[in-house]
Chain A
Amino acid sequence: MNRAVGICGENIAARFLTRQGYKIIGKNIKTFVGEIDIVAKIRHTTVFTEVKTRRSFVFGPPYLSVTKNKKRKLIQCALCYLKTKGYPDIDWRIDIISVQLNSSGIYIKKIEHFENAIEWEDYKK
C-alpha cells in the first residue's frame, strides 16, 4: 500500500519536474549504496531528487522525514552514481520534492520543491 503511494508520488514529482523544464534522465536508479528516486537535468546541472509522499499530516509534513542519516545516504548515492559516470566535472545538487495527497490518495493537496535541500555540511556527522 505504502509502496503504491510512493510510486504514485514519484510519478507526480517527475511530471512536476518536466513541466518546470527539467529533463528526466532516469527514475529509481540503483547504486551500490541505495536508490535515487529521480535523476534529472536542467541546463548544465544534474539534479538528484528525493521524493517524499504522505497521505496524512499526522506525522508532520513529508519533507521532515528526510533525516540526517538519509541525507548522508543520499550524498553517498549521488557520489556513487557520479562514479559510474567517471566523475564528470559538472554542477550537481540534491533536491527534495514533498508531495502531499489527500487521505484516499486521489488528489494532490500540495507539491513543494526544495532546491539545494542537502549540502556538504549534512555529510558531516
Chain B
Amino acid sequence: MIAKSLSCTVIGIESHKIDVEVDIAQGLPGFNVIGLPDTAIRESRDRIKFAIKNSGYKFPKGKITVNLAPANIKKEGSGFDLPIALSILCAIDIIKQERLLEFAICGELSLDGRLKAIKGALPISLGLKENNIKNIILPDKNLIEIINVTGPRIFTFGSLSAVVGFLKDDCASDPQNKNTGLKVKHKSKYRTDFNDVKGQEHVKRGLEVAACGHHNILLIGPPGSGKSMIAKRVPSILSEMSTEEVLETSKIHSVAGLLSPNKGLVTNRPFRDPHHTISDAALAGGGTNPMPGEISLAHNGVLFLDEFPEFKRSVLELLRQPMEDGKIRISRVQGSNIYPCRFMLVAAMNPCPCGYFTDPKKECNCTPYQIQRYLSKISGPLLDRIDIHLNVPRLKYNELSQKRSGESSEVIRLRVNNARNKQALRYKEEPISCNAHLESKQIEKYCVLDKEARELLKMAILELGISARAYDKILKVARTIADLHGKKTVEACHVSEAISYRSLERDFWMA
C-alpha cells in the first residue's frame, strides 16, 4: 500500500516542490518520517494520528514510512501534516491517487482535525507556476494572505474531513481566489502626522526628499529636539507601494510568520525600529535555519535606528554591504539563503555623549577626546553611504509656543507619490525603481546637469574636498530634488540643496 502526494516548502523566500510518499507495511505498528525532517515534522506523527481518528476515519495499523523527497533538502515547518495525512488516507483507499496528485497540499493539523495556518503560504502560492502545479489546497486561515494571487487555483478548507470530502467528490468546487488581479489597499490614515511637529521645517524638507528618492538619512541633534518624534512620522509620508513591492515585502513577512491573519498583505511600506541592543543575527538575519532579519523585514520600507552610535560596532558595520547591494546572503551550515533588503535607513543620534554639543544654550561638558570617540563609532564608509545628513537644532521659544503649523502628511505624501511615479516611469527599463538605487553608469545617463549646476558642482568639489562616492550621492539627491520640483534637468538650486545635505559630515567628523 503506497501513496504519493505533492507539497511545497519554503527555502529562503523561494518555494520548492516536495514529494510526500507514504508506505504502509505489515508488521509492528510504527510511524517513521525520513528525508531530513526537522522536529516539527517528526512530531507530526501524533497530530496526524489523532486528527485522522477524530475526523472519523480509522488510522491504519502497520508500519508507516513517510518519505519526503528530494531527500537532500532539509525540510522544516508544520505544513507537511496535511499532505502526510491525506497520503495515509489514500494508501488505505479512502481517496483516489490520481485525484490527490492534481493538487499541491500544505497545512498544519490540530488534534481535532482542524487546519491551522502555515508560515510562507504566499511564497508557496506564488512559486507554484515554476513548479508546474495548477491547483493547491491550503488552510482557510491563510486565505486573506493569498486571496489576491492569480495563476494557480487555490482551494482553502477548514478541516481534514472537508478536504477529504472535496477530494472524494470528483466534480471540483470553485477555487477561492476568484479575484482577478492584485488589489492592494493602502492605508490612508495614520495616528501620527507631520503637522504635529512644530518648526524644524528644514528637517521635514530633508525627510521629504529622502522619502522621495529612498535616500538614507541621518539626523543629528541635542536631546529633546524632536529627532525621534520626526522619524516616527516618516511612515505617514512614504509613497504607495507597487504591486511587485507589495508581493516582495509580503513574501518576507510571510516567511517570518509576521503577516497578521486579518490584514493580509503588507500594503504599506514597513517601518522597523529595533532597539539598540539588537544582535548581529537579529538585524541581518540568521539562526540555525536562516530567517530574515530586521533589514529584510524593512525591505522597501524604512529601518529606523534611534541612538545610532549606541548600537554595537559590529551591528552597524554589517549594514554596509546590504545597503549597497540591496540583498543579503545568510550562510549557515544548514544552507545559505538570499533575502532582499532594499531599505531606507533613518538614523538619529546626538552629537556627543552628553548630547548638548550643538546646543547654543546648554553647555556641553564632554572632552574633545570623548566626542571624537563617540563620533568614531560611526565609521567613514558607513557615513558615506548615508546621502542626507541633517542637523536638528533645539527649538526656540517662539517656535515652541506657536500653534500647530506646517503641512500635513497627506499633502507631503501627495508630492512624494508624484515624484516616485516619475522615477518609476523613467526607470521602466532599469532594474531599479528610485533614485537612491542608481548605479554610476545610470547616474551619467539620468542625472543631467545644466551648465550653471555643473559650474557649481565643480566649485564644490574643488573647494570642499568631496569624495567620489559623495559626488555620486550629491547627484542622486539633486536628481530627487529636481523630481520634486518637476524639472527634467538638474539645476543649480537642486545641486546646492544636495550639497548642503552633506555639510554636517565636515563639521563633525573632519573637524
Contact = CB atoms under 8 A, between A and B. Distances in A.
A59 interface: no
B30 interface: yes
B26 A93 contact: no
Nearest to A91: B26
A119 B28 contact: yes
B26 A75 contact: no
A116 interface: yes
The listed residue with most A CB atoms (<10 A of its CB), out of B26, B29, B31, is B29
Contacts of B32: 120
Given A116-B61, A120-B63, A89 B29 contact: no
Interface residues of A, number: 14
A91 B30 contact: no
A17 interface: no
B61 A120 contact: no
Interface string A15-34: 00000000000000000000
Nearest to A78: B28
A37 B28 CA distance: 17
A93 B30 contact: no
B31 A91 contact: no
B406 interface: no
Nearest to B64: A120
A45 B27 CA distance: 9
Contacts, number: 32
B33 to A, nearest CB: 11
Given A116-B61, A120-B63, A92 B30 contact: no
Contacts of B335: none
A4 interface: no
A94 B31 CA distance: 15
Contact of B26 (A78, A89, A119, A120): A89
Interface in A63-92: 75, 78, 89-92
A75 B28 contact: yes
The listed residue with most B CB atoms (<10 A of its CB), out of A75, A118, A120, is A120
A93 B31 contact: no
A93 B60 CA distance: 13
Contacts of A45: 61
A12 to B, nearest CB: 25
A75 B29 CA distance: 11
Interface in A81-125: 89-94, 116, 118-121
A92 B28 contact: yes
Given A116-B61, A120-B63, A92 B31 contact: no
Contacts of B45: 121
Contacts of B28: 75, 78, 92-94, 118-120
Contact of B62 (A78, A91, A118, A121): A91
Given A75-B28, A78-B28, A120-B28, 16 more contacts: A45-B61, A91-B26, A92-B26, A92-B27, A92-B28, A93-B28, A93-B29, A93-B61, A116-B29, A119-B29, A119-B30, A119-B31, A120-B29, A120-B30, A120-B31, A120-B32
Interface of B: 26-32, 45, 61-63
23 contacts: A45-B61, A75-B28, A78-B28, A90-B26, A91-B26, A91-B27, A91-B61, A91-B62, A92-B27, A92-B28, A93-B28, A93-B29, A94-B28, A116-B61, A119-B30, A120-B28, A120-B29, A120-B30, A120-B31, A120-B32, A120-B63, A121-B30, A121-B45
Nearest 10 pairs between A and B by C-beta? Answer: A120-B30, A91-B26, A119-B29, A119-B30, A116-B29, A120-B28, A92-B28, A93-B29, A89-B26, A93-B28
